[in-house]
Structure 1
């Protein structure tokens, strides 16, 4: 496994980050939230450590319907097995998101951010994860109804208490990153060290705003949905697997001509489509790590090949021709 720094921090993380959103029950089809059994999740995490992956990502809302938080519980029970599992992991979790089944009555519902909510959700995450600290605590979404002075009061307090090492964000636009860092600087606080963002060969809009802003600010970027919900793992010459998500199926028809060219290029390279898509992300100096979401140990081990691939300039140009970079942001998309 190869390692790099998370932004301009001194934290070294593996170039692949293990995503855990699928850890939960086995009620759904592979790839969905909560589709991986606890035993298989433990096997995957053990295999990740054995492969040198030290960077794990989760969130306080991951889990099946009516079981939000179960993913953190699964990780906590894995930590409790000992064997230096907790000490070997750079753990990131999130706060601030809510699903429809989480809604409760009252003015201070779980959705969004505030000092009040952050403190309570953080303590709940610690309990589920069976740990006394978090390396990376991330805001799941921006909350423009709350002043940064309040947010930094909450997050800075956790850092000063030694309960959190670093603060990160997710789904932030470039302007949000700028505001966050400007406010943190006024408090003589280091602010954000990472931003988690959706980005792939078929979704390159982050290049217009978030990626360049993050790089200028020294914020490392981790990537969710690097394979576009499995779309970029398809060999378009073969039947579409039943496990492909509905969202990816919709994208498939609009991107079919591009995917045909992409599969042809991958055949020329002698590499799998998923490996090339991940290698393309790893070639971007703004990106610290794509987040992979294997549902089996075999899928995890297969993903490791991407770290060894170094795409040359002609190949990168060809990928730009197949999946052109956006020229302007379509605010209606």
Structure 2
């Protein structure tokens, strides 16, 4: 496994981040345990989850599964750089009018404490805002997070789904308070979703924020099975999207065959080429899927291959404003 610093922090994390969203809804507890054990054996020390993961009627279940895995001991908790999130509605009647999606000092306190109980731990290394909430001031946010940094319940603060302007504002406000600010931004980024190259990735790189790519296979469309599906469990909307980009997917599959690599692994390796990228999130449903992904960090994409990928999946044209101005 290879490692990188998480943004401007001194914390090293694996260049693949184990996503756990499938644990519970798609992957049973036994298989989830096997995947997490295999991750540690392979040197994957970066685990990502969220308080809302677990399914519509079982929010929190994924954190509980991870907590029971930690409870087995054997140094599991000590070996993991653990990331979870706050923002969503946890269906807790006690939250009352504050149950709705958003961020507040009130919600951060209640939801962090609940996550720690479910995760069977007294701290998380990375606590992430799952989405931006522009109704809450940075005065409130940074003061709330600093309380838990001081208490040792969180080590670093991260963001997710922030725009470039939100990242810059967060760092500006943190600097005014002489605090570290954000160390990470979890953002949707893939060969099929390259808009972040305009603003988000440049802002993150400039301000020392490590990017963690979610949905790097774009819901499985880049995973190699989309072209093989003739319906089945795939929704009509998803199938329509496959048909709309079938030509691109066929060219991509052909290129991957030339390289002797799977489509999924090439798509993941591509994300790692961006200098702002810390790690893409892999979300295996099975142990086999996890094991097949480990090769990603060894794949070296040549300049010629990167050019061909650009031709198949054109980006926005570079960074803003040059991408759309003279």
Q: 1:181: which partner in 2?
A: 171
Q: 1:10: which partner in 2?
A: 10
The whole-number CA distance in structure 1 between the counterparts of 2:236 and 2:22 is 16
Q: Which runs of 5+ in 1 are unaligned?
A: 25-33
Q: 1:80: which partner in 2?
A: 71
Deviation at 1:248, TM superposition (A): 4.1
1:14–1:289 CA contact under 8 A, matched in 2: yes
Q: Which runs of 5+ in 2 are unaligned?
A: 322-326
1:124-168 deviations in Å (ceiling 9; x for gaps): 000000000000000000000000000001111111111110000
Bigger mean CA offset, 117-126 vs 253-262:
253-262
Deviation at 1:238, TM superposition (A): 3.7
Q: TM-score, normalised by structure 2?
A: 0.93
1:231–1:244 CA contact under 8 A, matched in 2: no
1:206-260 deviations in Å (ceiling 9; x for gaps): 1011111000001000011000111101256644584556664342122111111
Work out whether 1:58 is the aligned partner of 2:30: no
2:131–2:161 CA contact under 8 A, matched in 1: yes
Instruction: Sort the Cα spacing of 1:59 and 1:204 in 2 relative to 1 into closer, same or farther, 3 A.
Output: same
2:227–2:249 CA contact under 8 A, matched in 1: no
Q: 1:29: which partner in 2?
A: none
Work out whether 1:323 is the aligned partner of 2:319: no
Task: Name the SS of the counterpart of 1:233 in structure 2.
Answer: coil
Work out whether 1:89 is the aligned partner of 2:80: yes
Work out whether 1:41 is the aligned partner of 2:32: yes
Q: 1:303: which partner in 2?
A: 293
1:59–1:94 CA contact under 8 A, matched in 2: yes
The whole-number CA distance in structure 2 between the counterparts of 1:198 and 1:232 is 14
Report the aligned-residue RMSD: 1.8
Aligned length, in residue pairs = 319
Deviation at 1:98, TM superposition (A): 2.9
The whole-number CA distance in structure 2 between the counterparts of 1:56 and 1:315 is 30
The whole-number CA distance in structure 1 between the counterparts of 2:93 and 2:224 is 37
Q: TM-score, normalised by structure 1?
A: 0.92
1:229–1:248 CA contact under 8 A, matched in 2: no
